[in-house]
Amino acid sequence: MTSINVYQQRPDAAHAESPLFHAGLDELAGKPTGGAGIRLREKKLLGHLTLRGDGHDTAFAGAVHKATGLELPGALQLIGGGERSLQWMGPDEWLLIVPRGEEFAAEQQLRAALGELHHQVVNVSGGQTLLELSGPKVRQLLMKSTSYDVHPNNFPVGKAVGTVFAKSQLVIRHTGEHTWELLVRRSFADYIWLWLQDASGEYGLAVES
């Protein structure tokens, strides 16, 4: 059996800053917004784990379910919600998101369940963040930002797509009737935040903590 060292990359005692720490979202939260059509919340510092393997292998799918409690999603699907989800990213790749502080245990559980099965697990928590957008005008904002068809007939709840967004790239996740999430790389986070402020100007933007 191959021995793999798994490290706690973000110990509880370590100071961690989200990709949008500098934007001061906590200070903006709660300020009067007068009927804003869009509410934004950074779901910051969650655990993000990239998982790769053979999705057609029932042993692999069963091991993932044993470790996570989530069924392995098919193409463009998102399973779960809140701070725990599993998303299809490609034919042999998925993204597991878990609550802050649980990524180390989640990685250990995945590796233990998968055992000698061909797989790869990588902790990418520091490289991206989630922005939750909710409210009656979110779809209009998305229509201004991406050429991907976000109509409910094409983009129902439970679908997730990697696409071009505001001349950059990110993943759009539809998590509720009027709730969406943007999975943003750290290097694009500032640009996307500035874009969202500008693009939501006509609808009103409220920041929540």
Q: Is the pTM of this model over 0.85?
A: yes
Backbone phi and psi for residue 196, each to the nearest 5 degrees, phi listed first = -65, -40
Burial label for 27, CB within 10 Å (0-12, 13-18, 19+), is exposed
Sole residue written with tokens 């290097």? 187
- In terms of Cα–Cα distance, which of 6, 203, 206, 25 is closest to 107? 6
Domains and CATH numbers, the chain: 23-207 (3.30.1360.120)
- In terms of Cα–Cα distance, which of 55, 114, 41 is closest to 83? 41
What distance in Å separates the CA atoms of residue 47 and residue 128, rounded to the nearest whole number? 10
77 and 158 in contact (C-beta within 8 Å)?
yes
Edge-to-edge strands of the sheet including 93-98? 78-81, 84-90, 93-98, 47-53, 119-123
Question: Could you read off the pLDDT tens digit of each residue along the chain, which spans 209 residues?
Answer: 455 656 566 656 567 889 999 888 888 887 766 789 999 999 999 999 999 999 999 999 999 999 999 999 999 999 998 899 999 999 999 999 999 999 999 999 999 999 999 999 999 999 999 999 999 999 999 999 999 999 999 999 999 999 999 999 999 999 999 999 999 999 999 999 999 999 999 999 999 98
